[in-house]
Amino acid sequence: MKEKHVYYLVTFLTVFGAVLIKNYLVDNYAELSNLSFMFDVLLFVAIYMPLQFVFSKIGKHFTKSM
């Protein structure tokens, strides 16, 4: 795949995964159901950053091998 396509795929998968995990965590813990906006954003970013790192490393592996 082209590097541009891998970048868009990594971004999509990272956002999708971060939203999915954040919503799963918030739904499982009733006390988190009324999060403030800033805490909600911080939780999203805390999940997003590790996923972005992992998916970008995987994406770089696929662009180098092709």
At 6-41, the pLDDT tens digits run 889 999 999 999 999 888 888 777 666 677 788 878
What is the domain count for the chain? Answer: 1
In a domain, residue 10? The reply is: yes
To the question of pTM greater than 0.85 for the whole model, the response is no
Q: Given this model, what pLDDT does residue 51 score?
A: 92
* Residue bearing the bigger pLDDT, 30 or 53: 53
Contacts of 52 (CB under 8 A, 6+ apart): 10, 14
In a domain, residue 27? The reply is: yes
In a domain, residue 21? The reply is: yes
In a domain, residue 38? The reply is: yes
Confidence category of residue 59, pLDDT binned at 50, 70, 90: confident
Q: How far apart are CA 43 and CA 37, in angstroms?
A: 10
* Residue bearing the bigger pLDDT, 65 or 42: 42
In a domain, residue 66? The reply is: no
